[in-house]
Each structure stands twice: as C-alpha cells, then as structure tokens.
Amino acid sequence: MGYVGLIQSIGLAEIGFEVVGVEIDKEKVEKLNKGIPTIYEKGVEELLKRNLSRLEFTSSYEKIKECDVIFICVGTPQDKHGKPNLNFVFSAVESIKNNLNDGYKIIAVKSTVPVGTNRKIREILKEEEVDIVSNPEFLREGSALEDFFNPDRVVLGFENEKKEKAKEIMLRIYKSFRDKGVPFLITNWETAEMIKYASNAFLATKISFINEIGNICKKLGIDVYEVVKGMSYDKRIGKEFLNAGIGFGGSCFSKDVKALIAKAKEIGEEARILEEVIKVNEKQPLKIFEIIRRKGIDLKNKKVAVLGLTFKPNTDDVRESRAIVVIKKLLEEGAIIYASDPMGIENMRKIFPENENLKYLFDPQEAVDKSEIVLLLTEWPNFKELNFGDKLIIDGRNIVPKEKRKNLNYEGVCW
C-alpha cells in the first residue's frame, strides 16, 4: 500500500470492485482502515473514506485466497549500481505462492520492473494455476487519481496471444476506461515492460535537453521560455516537459533511466544519450552556486531561504528532490538555511535533521524575512505572492511572474 498500491486500490474500489490491500506495515494498515491516508495526494482522503465499505486493508497474505486478481505494486528502488532492486517484488511473489488456493488467478504486475521480470515470476509460479500480466502504471504524483481514472493509455502484456481468459478478465476490470475511448495496447511481457522505461526515459530526456538549451540561452542573453514557446507550436514537439530549471526529481525518472542504462550495459549496448540525461540532471541544481560565485558571495554564515523541498508541487514526496542537492551543498559551504515547504518538511527532516545551521519554517514569508538570499526550488503557487523585498532571488523553476521581476533583485537559473 505504497503510492501506486493505494491509488490502484482506491481507484478500483471507486469503480465498484471489492478490494483487499495488503501492507506489512501494521501502523499503515490501522490508519487506512480508519480512512486516514498514508500519502498526500489530491482526492485520496475523500475517495478512501467514501469507499471504506469496499476496501479492506490487512497485513495478512491469506486474504488473497478470496481474490481473483492480485496486483503487485511494491517498490523497485535502485541499488548502488543503478539496477532496480527486485527483492520486494520476488518476496511478494513468494508470499503469493505460499497463499494460493485451488482455482485460477491473475497476477498483474504494476511495479516498474526490468525486461524479463515477468518471465522470472512465471518461473517461480510455473506449477501454479495463474496467468501473469504486465500492467505498468503511468501515474503522475500530484494528479495520480486523475491519471488513474483518465489514463493516456492502458498497457497489458501477456505471455502469448493464447491467454484469452486473462485478457477477458483484465479488459473487464478496465471496461470503464475502454468505454471512454482510452487506447489499449495488448502486447507481450517484454514490450510492456519496455514501454514504461522508454516513456520515462524520453520524458527525462526532454527535461535535460531543455535545461542544456536554457544554459546556452542564458549565456547568449536569450529567454529560453520564449524559445520554448516557439518550439511548442510544432505539434511534433509540444510544450510538455520543456520547463527549464534545476532538473527533475521524484522516485521514477532518475531510477528508471539508470535502470535502462544498466540493462543496456548488461546486453552489451551503449546508452549514451541516457547517460548524458543523468549527468545534466545532476549538474543542473549546481547552476545556483555558479550564480552565487559570479556575484562574489561567500556563503559562510550567509542566511539562505530554501523555498520548496518536494520534487514537485502538490505532493509530500522529497525523493530525489533537487532541494536535497542544494541543501547538502549549502551546508558544506557553511550557510544558515531557513527551509520551507507546504507539505515536504517532515519528510525532509528525515534526510536533514534540524540543527543550528538548518531550521524548518512552515511560513515561507518568515523564511524570506530571515534571509539574505532566496532560492526557489519547487513551483508551489503561494510562493508567487511572497514579498521578497530587496533579497537576492535565484529562481530554479520560473516561479516569479515576469512583470514582478523588474522590481526585484532577481535571476533565473536558465534565463
């Protein structure tokens, strides 16, 4: 019952299915059964409470004996080599195997897994009366429920074209999406697995691409956002994921790109573009410090407001947030930090506990007032309305409106 699992459970319950959510963390189970969300996401609390009669959360795998379809939604964090750690996936598979009863079941893998994983799951369960379906998720944090109910596409990967029973059941589960005209791609395991990785890798590439263009534009005195506007009229390019700034974070892009690079190396192929995507992203937040050095500022004992801790607005997720890179560098340089975020403070505390050089403030205006330099790292809407006074503002997300910049001591990372 992590991010994907909870959204899947609530979504299916809202459609009308009875859902059992398995979670080994008993504290989470207790909260969810009381209608208390364990993630911050728009609409989750309302739908969770509304569907409690169709939802049951438990720490016992025995409950899956009552279920027809079992979705695996566990995390696949990367290891030190950039490869996905599949321990949670295979542990879940073993637990499922130990709790199967007589009768046919479908195991649908929503976890993001490397090519070949569904085939390995089949090997573990080769003697069981089950079909394995690759059903990757394409949820965006901050709008996950919207994406669940209105997906761009649904991908279903099967072992082969003979799996008619599994197809019929999976298509019945997602019938409401088909009725709305959502595109369905019926394919094999390996293709479905690769679709997820290729999709995230391409989006990450767009971000690193426009950040490189932004870096060039800045030195040439060109507004990269005017360039993006001109590019976006080309239907082949569009405007999505062309927001120049300090790079991407979150639990998916970096992990999935590195996983694809690792898979390429494993089979003797190079992934040069993807390797550069990661390099650009790792360097991009440090552009802030290039600006500070160019202005001749010594950060030792300098008071700095860090506004935005989550990797994007409308979530409490700080995984791979660019703020982590920035805070680490500020602490190394001896700055005094006042960090603020509407939702991310508690999660960031786990990474950087509060100390004499780092204070967390829920009021962003207070953080600005206490500081000499203001760093804007997440595009929370309320940051636009702050009174910055004469503080140096370094904007990493194009937050401050153009008309407001002319009266400020302002500089953008890429513009």
Which residues are catalytic, by number? 252
Amino acid at 377: L
Backbone angles phi and psi of 38, in degrees to 5: -105, 5
Backbone angles phi and psi of 134, in degrees to 5: -90, 115
CA distance 386 to 400: 9
The tokens for 347 are: 């999660």
Q: Where are the alpha helices (DSSP H) in 269-360?
A: 272-283, 287-294, 322-332, 345-351
CB atoms within 10 A of CB 27: 9
**CA dist 334 to 294, 299, 350, Å?**
18, 6, 20
Amino acid at 16: G
Residue 298: Cβ-neighbour burial (10 angstroms; 0-12, 13-18, 19+):
exposed
CA distance 277 to 283: 10
Helix (H) or strand (E) holding 5: helix 3-15
Backbone angles phi and psi of 19, in degrees to 5: -125, 135
b/e code 155-194 from CB counts within 10 Å (16+ = b): bbbbbeeebeebbebbeebbeebeeeeeeeebbebbebbb
CA distance 247 to 211: 7
Backbone angles phi and psi of 54, in degrees to 5: -105, 0
Count H helices and E strands in the chain, helices first: 17, 13
3-state secondary structure 33-59: HCCCCCCCCCCHHHHHHHCHHHEEEEC
| Helix, coil or strand: residue 153 | coil
Backbone angles phi and psi of 21, in degrees to 5: -105, 120
